[in-house]
């Protein structure tokens, strides 16, 4: 696969087949894109349409071992039903005796996590643009009665136009809302909390409640032990947005529409969703 083919994929997978009707023979498999607990992700090209996708390979043995059948089925149903510029598409799936294959939209620039780790932190304009894009995606998901619960840099993917896109599965302690730490009932507001954590990490390079141990991380989350290190590149407006999202009472967290109206977002986010310096 050459660079031009992967950068300009055909926008229609020819006569997209119903899920389960695909097979591995329909794809040219390229380089590995990532590796997880349950399988691997590869760059792939659908042979007929030349459409570039990410092919996620999940091992049935792992699904059996961790009894994840229902969770996986639910995630597949949800993701295949969503269609939004900032939501990673699931085009279809198929399986063989040992593996399940998910045909996913390919995000050309990979995980936002990699970009964050390379630069240490993001500029306010970049951070605001990503938060605005993700807020729009979450508003769409919430309208569809879907709670994400698992927003974190490793799960956010950048496509070629730099819009942030949500992905699925896995979990990290730093991003859990207090109600989830305390095993209480939770609703859509867990995503609003996580936007606050994400915004903080974009700007400071580390999550706000990071600690030496799981116990201490949980303690800091439950107490909302939030502090802002002195740094010239983070404005008072950014800190205000974070503080209004990282609120223990979930009913008092800033709503998604109010995030989009917040002065920091209005001032810094590129309305096109593209990051430019």
Q: Which residues are catalytic?
A: 150
Burial of 5 (0-12, 13-18, 19+ CB in 10 A): middle
103-129 residues labelled b (16+ CB within 10 A) or e (exposed)? bbbbbbeebbeebbeeeebbebebbbb
Burial of 257 (0-12, 13-18, 19+ CB in 10 A): exposed
The closest alpha carbon to 28, from 11, 7, 42, 17, belongs to: 42
Terminal CA-CA length for the chain = 31
Distance CA 5, CA 160 (A): 13
Q: Does residue 147 contact residue 185 with C-beta atoms inside 8 Å?
A: no
Helix extents (H) in 82-204: 112-119, 124-143, 178-181, 189-204
């Amino acid at each position: 696969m050459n660079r031009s083919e992967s950068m300009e994929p055909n926008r229609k997978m020819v006569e997209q087949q119903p899920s389960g009707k695909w097979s591995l023979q329909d794809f040219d498999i390229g380089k590995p894109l990532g590796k997880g607990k349950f399988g691997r992700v590869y760059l792939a090209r659908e042979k007929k349409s030349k459409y570039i996708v990410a092919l996620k390979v999940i091992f049935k043995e792992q699904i059996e071992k961790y009894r994840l059948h229902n969770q996986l089925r639910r995630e597949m149903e949800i993701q295949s039903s969503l269609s939004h510029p900032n939501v990673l598409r699931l085009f279809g799936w198929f399986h063989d005796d040992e593996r399940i294959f998910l045909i996913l939209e390919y995000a050309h620039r990979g995980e936002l996590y990699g970009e964050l780790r390379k630069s240490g932190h993001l500029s306010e304009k970049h951070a605001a643009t990503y938060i605005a894009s993700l807020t729009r995606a979450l508003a769409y998901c919430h309208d569809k009665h879907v709670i994400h619960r698992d927003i974190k840099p490793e799960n956010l993917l950048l496509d070629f136009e730099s819009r942030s896109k949500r992905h699925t599965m896995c979990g990290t302690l730093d991003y859990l809302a207090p109600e989830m730490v305390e095993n209480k009932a939770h609703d859509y507001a867990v995503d609003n909390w996580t936007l606050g954590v994400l915004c903080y990490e974009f700007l400071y390079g580390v999550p706000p409640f990071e600690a030496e141990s799981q116990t201490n991380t949980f303690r800091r989350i439950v107490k909302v032990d939030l502090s802002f290190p002195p740094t010239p590149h983070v404005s008072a407006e950014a800190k205000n947005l974070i503080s209004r999202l990282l609120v223990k009472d979930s009913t008092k967290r800033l709503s998604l529409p109010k995030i989009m109206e917040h002065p920091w977002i209005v001032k810094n986010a590129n309305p096109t969703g593209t990051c430019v310096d």
